[in-house]
Amino acid sequence: MRRGMSRMGAAVVAGLLLAGGITGCGGADPAPRELAAPVALPTEAPVEAPADQPSEVPPGVEAMGVAPSAKASPSASPTVKPKPKPTRTTAGPLSTPKPPTETRVPPPPPKPAPSGCQPTYQGTQATRSQVKAALGDAAARTYWPTSAPDIAIPLKLLKATAWQESGWQSNIVACDGGIGLMQVMPATADWMNQRFGQSYDIGDYRDNAYLGANYLAWLTKYIGDMYFESDYRLDASLCTDELNSCLLNAIISAYNYGHNAVAREGEPLTIPNPQYVRNVRALMTECVCLTY
């Protein structure tokens, strides 16, 4: 969820997923910081680490009283109805974007981690089935129930992003500060909790999945309003060979490089990290994690 990370992308795509001839497409990104290759995830019992195992109910969810649902979002207001969407006249993004509707924006990405730095691990690693369930729950949630209830994060996108970011390692801590399954930055988690009035715990794998999906949903709203006339479809069929042709590619790029690197007022939509986008797009159809 920040600049300068290959985050398992090269290792996973080349070593785990695309051994059958699929390799990353062209496009030179800034020198990435490699994460350790994914370790084998336990399928039944969690692998014990020095820290205590996460509680049955993650602190963030416990603080909210119930598991997150469409009704749990504080942004919902029963008296406000969604604005009707304009009819789009073009398939691609607007050449001149509209002013952003979201004025409270996330903090900028951190500086790249030092070369040669190795990630660390904290706490107990969630099992494969636990991670699968957490990602499924996060993808099923409605994050903008009032102003944009049609925003949905595809499960394949969430699974692929988690694999690209961490290899589904729920207890990994990257050198630049990214934490867990979705490699959420602490400052980004704090911002989202404040923005949406939540209390997600970045260290709990279930809350971490919600944070990553919530950030993707926020990016969908932010970039969709600016460049796609509030057309929030994250549909690969809308993309062409031009990486800046669709909202799906744009939010994948922004998850890695930050919203301001992709969407700037008065400027065309930009994809500054094409290889990252190609990796995630490939994982959405080829990832071994899709079979878990």
> 258 CB contacts (<8 Å, ≥6 apart)?
2, 3, 106, 108, 109
pLDDT in tens, 11-37: 444 344 333 433 334 444 444 434 444
Instruction: Supply the Cα-derived Rg of the chain in whole angstroms.
Output: 18
Q: Which of 3-7, 193-197, 250-254 has the lowest mean pLDDT?
A: 3-7
pTM of the model: 0.74
Q: How far apart, in whole angstroms, are the C-alpha atoms of residue 226 and residue 203?
A: 32
pLDDT in tens, 49-62: 444 444 444 444 34
254 pLDDT above the threshold of 90 = yes
pLDDT in tens, 234-244: 999 999 999 99
Mean pLDDT of the chain: 81
Q: How far apart, in whole angstroms, are the C-alpha atoms of residue 164 and residue 136?
A: 17
What pLDDT is recorded for position 22?
38
Paired tokens of 201: 């715990």
Confidence of residue 69 (pLDDT cuts 50, 70, 90): very low
Q: Choose among 291, 289, 248, 290: nearest CA to 269.
A: 248
What pLDDT is recorded for position 18?
38
For the chain, the first-to-last Cα distance in angstroms comes to: 23
What pLDDT is recorded for position 3?
55
**Backbone region of residue 94 per phi and psi (left: phi > 0; alpha: psi in -120 to 50; beta: other values):** beta
> 228 CB contacts (<8 Å, ≥6 apart)?
88, 93, 94, 247
What average pLDDT does this structure show over 211-217?
98
Per the DSSP assignment, residues forming a β-bridge with 172 are 121
Q: How far apart, in whole angstroms, are the C-alpha atoms of residue 153 and residue 218?
A: 10
pLDDT in tens, 75-118: 444 455 555 555 565 679 999 999 999 999 999 988 888 888 99
Cβ atoms of residues 4 and 30 within 8 Å: yes
What pLDDT is recorded for position 15?
40
Torsion of CA 271, 277, 281, 282, to 10 degrees: 140
What pLDDT is recorded for position 111?
84
What average pLDDT does this structure show over 122-131?
97
Cβ atoms of residues 11 and 17 within 8 Å: no
Domains of the chain in sequence order: 120-290 (1.10.530.10)
46 pLDDT above the threshold of 80 = no
What average pLDDT does this structure show over 273-281?
98
